[in-house]
Amino acid sequence: MKTVPLPNSTEVPTDVTFRITFNDLPDPDTVRSGTILLTTGYFWVPGTYGVDLIDKAAFMRPIRPLVPKLGYSLHLRPALGSLAGCPGSSEDIEFISGEGGAGVPPPEPAPFASVQGIFGARCGGAGCHLAADDASSCLPAPAAGLSLCASEAWDSLVSVPSRQDSSLRRVEPGDSARSYLLRKVLPSPTGGPITGVAGQREPPGDPLPEDQLRIIASWIDGGAVR
């Protein structure tokens, strides 16, 4: 497990995002205030929580900047588990905040056109979700009812329940970690199937490179705008 910041760090930016990286995919349903807790003295610091499945990382962002030059503790608890059901460990990370923030603006979300370009390049050859001979053409009966042609892909993905796991939507706007699409295209960290994902990883053949996975995740986390 790796953490940002490291234990006993000083001069931690007051606008820090705490990040905990594991060797397995964290379960987003376990990433919450009870498993990642930030305190200073006797006071709890509230924040927002999320998961980066591509980096196998959980993160927490305080809702307001940290107080400069103050000691804090980040508490990690075993209920912070993996999608495979493995528990985490208990750890307390002490650090001291710096005098100001890093001032790094968040990146702009990827546009849907970039995501559609990935579909066209990788999903058309087999004729499952796109026509094999023309990636712009739509199929009358695409596999699993998922059409990825340009005119139908957004409506087939966004806020539509997955047929393989009805507890997840194919794309959950603003939450790539809870989007079945991202789980379906991720390479497994263990080489076997990802827990909760039915069938083989998509698309067939080599897994999508990280830069393309990042485009898909960025589009989803940015709200999955059409």
Q: What is the mean pLDDT of residues 198-210?
A: 85
| Per-residue confidence (pLDDT) for residue 188, from 0 to 100 | 82
* The residue type at 219: W
Which candidate, 104, 109, 221, places its Cα nearest to that of 171? Answer: 221
Q: What is the DSSP letter of 206?
A: S
Yes or no: say if 212 and 98 are a contact pair by the CB < 8 Å rule: no
**Dihedrals phi, psi of 166, to nearest 5 degrees:** -70, -10
Average pLDDT, the chain: 91
The reported pLDDT for the residue numbered 127 is 67
User: What pTM, to 2 d.p., does this model score?
Assistant: 0.91
CATH number at residue 73: 2.60.40.1220
What is the distance between the terminal CA atoms of the chain, rounded to a whole angstrom? 36
Nearest Cα to Cα of residue 189 among 56, 27, 28: 56
Q: How far apart are CA 124 and CA 142, in angstroms?
A: 11
Q: Report the Cα 34 to chain-centroid distance in Å.
A: 20
Q: What is the pLDDT of residues 5-62, one digit of tens each?
A: 999 999 999 999 999 999 999 999 999 999 999 999 999 999 999 999 999 999 999 9
Shared domain check, 119 and 84:
no
Domain that holds residue 40: 2-97
CB 183 within 8 A of CB 28: no
DSSP 189: T
- Asked if pLDDT for residue 93 goes beyond 80, the answer is yes
Verify that 26 and 68 share a domain, yes or no. yes
| 138-148 per-position pLDDT tens digit | 878 888 888 88
End residue of a domain, out of 41, 71, 97? 97
Instruction: Assign 126 a pLDDT band (cuts: 50, 70, 90).
Output: low
